[in-house]
Structure 1
Amino acid sequence: MISTQLFYGGGGILLLLLGLWSFLVHAPLLRKLIALNVMGAGVFHILVATAYRGLDTPPDPVPHALVLTGIVVAVSATALALAFGQRLDRDDDR
């Protein structure tokens, strides 16, 4: 039987590798931004997997706090990158 920690950790590593591969293969900036977000989701999964300590003990709160903070930072950085990309696209049209 696969444990919960192995399931989340393996899924996180898979997402991280998929995002890294996509970031290296694709040329358009929007696809690179999506790949970075997929990599971030993989890192979040790995952090949640490391917080798990078993059924009888509560999870470690520090990785959970890092994941919540990371989600806020990732959303803000994605919005900033999209605004910069739109500005670059608008300047290229001139």
Structure 2
Amino acid sequence: MIDRRPLVLETAGEVVVGDPVAFRVRDWHKPVEGVRVVSHTDTAVTDRTGRCELTFRAPGFWKVAAFKPADDYVAYEPATALVHAVTEAASRGRLPGIATDVR
């Protein structure tokens, strides 16, 4: 009998455009190796610790999904996460050319 398990996809909610973003995939509390983590423009595969990295090249909200094919013992349910990629200036809380000290 095949055991059905949900994948859990963990990452930071807000990231800076151009910086590598770490993802961790697990089922319950154990890391899962060989999971494909996919965004609109990039794909990575988790290592034995359940970790991988993606880089977002444009600001916006990005849906990321994690998939792993079933084997003889386990069928994994896919997981998704929403990542907000922001510019470096926005991550510091201010944008160049916009006044932040209003009197």
For the criterion TM > 0.5, the same-fold answer is no
Larger strand proportion, structure 1 or 2? 2
TM-score normalised by length of structure 1: 0.27
